[in-house]
Structure 1
C-alpha cells in the first residue's frame, strides 16, 4: 500500500480519496431517495383513505387531512431558500458552512438526499477518470504502434461523411448565414480529421490541421463577439460559465493524470482568446454602439497582439511568473525553454480571433448581401454566383500553390498572416445558396458539440501517453492483432465517454456556476477553493510524514 501511494502525487491521492467519499455519498443518497419514495407511496395511500374518510388511527379515531404533509404542498423542501449572506465576515462563514458541498462532506443526510443528482454526476465523473487512469497509466491494456495508410485514412473519413449525408442531413428553419448548426457541423468534420491525424500520425496533412485549429480560434472570436454584441450580457456569471466549460474537465484530468495544463494546449489557447474577446467588448461597453469607437477597439486589439506576441520579450516577461500554469517540458525531449510551447501555439493564431470578431461585426451586412443576391433574377443570380465562385477558385489556387504547399517550418511562419484566407473561402462556398445554408449534417454537428471532450480524451482512452506530460505516441489496444477491429472498439468507447463527460460538465456547471447570482457564485468559488486547497495540503502533509 505504501509503495502504491509513493508512486502517486498528492493531487492523485486527493482525487481518489474524494472519489471514494463521493461514491459513498451518492449510494447513501440513492438509498435515502429510494426510502423516501417508499414512504411517499404509503403516504399517498393514506391520503386517499383520508379523502374517503376511511382512515383511522390506532385508537379508531378518524384521521383528518392536514396541510403539513408533503402531498399537500406544505413540505419545507419547497420553501424559498434565503439568499447567501456574504456582506459580513460572520455571514460569509455561516453561508459557506451551510452550502450543500460542506453539508454533504459532514454527512448531513438532508443535504445528501437533496443533492442526489449532483452527487451522481460527481461519482460518474470520478468513475470515468478512473477509466482514464486505467487505460493510460496501468499495464491492463497494451500500447500499439501507430501506422499511416493514406488509403485507410481517406476511407474512414469518406465513409463517415457518406453516413452523415445519408442519415443526418437535416434542415434548419431559415437560410441563415453561419447558423449555429452549420458552425457545429464545421467543427465536427474538422475534429474528425484532427483526431485521425493524431491516430494515424498523418504528417502529410499537418498544414491542414493548422488551418483547422485556426478555424476553431476564429469561431471563438466570432461566437463570443456575436453573443456580447447582440445581448450586452457581460455578467460575471456568464463569463464564469465559459471558463468552467473550457477548463473544468482539463483541470480534473491534469490532477488525475499528473499532467501539465499546456499538454492540452487547445484549452489555454481558447481560454486566453475568450478572455481577450470579453475584455475587448466588456471594457467601455458603451463604445460598442458606435461603429467608429468599435473600430478603435479593433485597432487597439491588433496593436495589443503586435506588442504582446511579436515582441517576444514582452510575451516572456508577462508569462514568466505564470510558468507553473502555462509551462511545459516534454519528458521525451531536451528543451529548457518551458514557455516555448505556449508561445509557439498561441502565436500561430494570434490574429485570427480578431478576424472572427470582424466577421461577426460584418455578419448583418453579409447576410443582407446574400439576400440581395438570392432575390436577383435567375440569370443575374447565376452570373453573380459564378463570378464569386470563380474568384474563390483563383484565390484558392494561388493560396494552395504558394502557401499551403510550403514545408512545415516555412508554412508555420506564414500561417498567422494567411489562415484567414481558407477560412473565408470555405465560408463563401458553404453559404453561397439558400439550399446550402438550409442543410446541415447533424452527425458532424453532434460531434462538433463534444470537440473539447474528444480532444482531451484522445490522449488517454484512444491513444496512450504512458508517462506524465508525455505526448500520445502509442495507440490504446483492446484487441491486439486486429488493428481495424481495435480501432472500432476503442473509438466507440472513446466517443461514448466523451459524450458523457460533455453532459456531466454541463450538469456540474449548472450546480456550481449560477448565471445571474454573483453572490452565490462568490460563495461557491470560496467553498470550492477552500475545500480543494485544504484537502490537497492535508493530503500532501500526510504523505510527507508517512509515505515519502
Structure 2
C-alpha cells in the first residue's frame, strides 16, 4: 500500500490532556442527559398510572446539557475520522472532469429546487433567501474545489478566492444593513454573532488539537466583524430608522462615510508595514488567535491582506444601495425590474464587463503571488457584477434556490468540519469509509458530513440563548467564566 494513500503505516497523533478533559466533559454531559431523560420518562409513566395520560405536555426545547451530549457524540466521530487510524485516507486526484462535472451537477440541482421567496422583503435586493442561496452555492463549489485538489490550477484558485471574498462582502453588507435599520451596536448583539461564528470552531480546537488559525477563514470573518462593530459602536452613532418615516437623516450618510474612511485608514496603516502588522498581532494575550501551530504569523498576514478591502466594499455597496432607495434611483418594492429598460441594459452590460474582466485577469495572471496582490483591488468586480445580474430582473430577484439556501444556513459548520469528516490528514487527503469504491465512498462520507454539520448548526442554536442571554451583564459574566477557563489552558500550552 502506498504510504500516502493509507494510514496503516502512520502513527496516530497522541491524545493530549486537553482533549481528554474535553471528552470527559462531554461524557459527563451525556450521563446527565441520560439521567434527565430517565427522570422525565419516569414522571410521564407516573402520570399515566394516575390516569393523566390524556394531558398534553407542552413541547420541550433541547437543554444545553443534552445539546452538549449530542455534540460530544459528533466530536467522537470527528476524532475517529481524523485523529486516529480507524479509517483510511487517500490522496486527492485532480482532473478537469473531476472538478467541472460535480460543479455542473450542483448547478443543475440548485436550478431544479427554485422556489418563490417567502420573506416579507422578498423583492428587496439581497434579501435573506437570496444571500443564503449565494452562500450555499459558493460553499458547494468550494467543497468540490477542496475534495478534488483543484488549487493547483491558478485560474480556478483565483475564482475560488473571489467566492471567499464574496462571503466577506456579504458580512460587511449584512451587518451594515442590520445596523442601519436597527441602530443595534450593543454587546449582546456582538457576542451573539461572535458565538455563532466561533463556538463550533473552539470545540474543534479543543477536541482535534488544532490551533485557531487552522480554520483560517473563521478567524478572518471574526476579525473583520469585530473591527467593523467597533467602528459602528464608536460615536457618532447610527440612529435607528423611525417606524413612521423609514428614512435616514442626510447626516447619517456623512457619518457612515467617515467611519468607512476610518476603516480604510486602519487597513492601510497595517498593510504599509508587515513588521508593524506582526507587532500588533503577536502581542499577548491575543497572539494565540493569529499564529499557527509553528508559532508563525505569516499565514495570517497572507490571508488578511488578500481581502483587506472587501469588508469596505460591502459597506460602500450597502450605503450606495440605501442612497439609491432614498432618492428613488431604483425600484425593488415590487416584482418589476430595478431600472428602466435602457438602465437595465446598461447595468447588464456593466455586470458582464466586470465579471469578464476578473475572469480574464485570472487567466492572464502568471503566478499566485501577483494574482493575490491584484485581487484585493479588483475583487469587487465579480461581486458587483453578480449582484446586478441576480437582481436587475424582478422575476429573478423574487425567486431563489431552496436547496442552495438550505446549504447557506450551515455554511460555517460545513467549512469548519470539512477538514475532519470529509477530507482528512488536515485537508491534504480524502476520508475513506468504503474502500475500493470512490463514488460510493464520496456519497456516504458526504451524507454524514452534511447532516452532521446541520445537526451542529441546530445544537449551536440551542446553546446560544444560554451562552449569550439577553442581559448584557449576564453576557459579561459568561465571558469572564469563559476566559477563566481558557487562560489556564493557554498558559498550559504556552500561548499566554
Which TM bucket (shorter chain)? 0.7 to 0.9
- Please, which of 422, 427, 431 is the counterpart of residue 472 of structure 1? 427
What is the CA-CA distance between 1:220 and the residue it aligns to?
1.0
Alignment partner of 1:390 is 2:354: no
Name the residue aligned to 1:420.
Answer: 380
Counterpart CA distance in 2 for 1:323 and 1:475 is 31
Name the residue aligned to 1:9.
Answer: 16
Contact 2:201 2:416 in 1 (8 A): yes
Counterpart CA distance in 2 for 1:292 and 1:172 is 34
Closer/same/farther in 2, CA of residues 270 and 418 from structure 1, 3 Å limit: same
Contact 1:374 1:381 in 2 (8 A): no
What is the CA-CA distance between 1:323 and the residue it aligns to?
3.0
Note the aligned Cα RMSD (angstroms). Answer: 3.0
Normalising by the residue count of structure 2, what TM-score does the alignment of the two structures yield?
0.86
Correspondences of 1:127-526 after superposition (within 5 Å): 127-172=73-118, 174-203=122-151, 204=153, 205-286=156-237, 290=251, 291-321=253-283, 322-329=286-293, 338-367=296-325, 368-371=328-331, 381-402=340-361, 405-407=364-366, 408-465=368-425, 471-514=426-469, 516-526=470-480
Closer/same/farther in 2, CA of residues 141 and 533 from structure 1, 3 Å limit: same
Counterpart CA distance in 2 for 1:480 and 1:351 is 45
What is the CA-CA distance between 1:164 and the residue it aligns to?
2.2
What is the CA-CA distance between 1:5 and the residue it aligns to?
13
What is the CA-CA distance between 1:287 and the residue it aligns to?
5.7
Counterpart CA distance in 2 for 1:458 and 1:474 is 11
Measured against aligned partners, the alpha-carbon deviations of 1:419-475 in whole angstroms (never above 9, x if no partner) come to 01111111111111111100100100111111111111110000112xxxxx41110
Structure 1 or 2, whichever has the larger Rg, is 1
5+ long unaligned stretches in structure 1: 49-70, 72-113, 331-336, 466-470, 541-548
Secondary structure at the aligned position of 1:133 is classed as helix
5+ long unaligned stretches in structure 2: 1-10, 240-248
Contact 2:337 2:392 in 1 (8 A): no
Higher helix share: 1
What is the CA-CA distance between 1:152 and the residue it aligns to?
3.0
Contact 1:404 1:411 in 2 (8 A): no
Closer/same/farther in 2, CA of residues 444 and 377 from structure 1, 3 Å limit: closer
Normalising by the residue count of structure 1, what TM-score does the alignment of the two structures yield?
0.78
Name the residue aligned to 2:246.
Answer: none
Counterpart CA distance in 1 for 2:490 and 2:259 is 44
Secondary structure at the aligned position of 2:116 is classed as strand
Counterpart CA distance in 2 for 1:169 and 1:11 is 47
Counterpart CA distance in 2 for 1:155 and 1:453 is 25
Secondary structure at the aligned position of 2:430 is classed as strand
Correspondences of 1:76-87 after superposition (within 5 Å): none
Deviates more, 1:232-241 or 1:362-371: 362-371
What is the CA-CA distance between 1:361 and the residue it aligns to?
1.5
Closer/same/farther in 2, CA of residues 404 and 271 from structure 1, 3 Å limit: farther
Contact 2:82 2:424 in 1 (8 A): yes
Counterpart CA distance in 2 for 1:537 and 1:405 is 46
Aligned residues: 460
Counterpart CA distance in 2 for 1:12 and 1:351 is 37
Contact 2:33 2:69 in 1 (8 A): yes
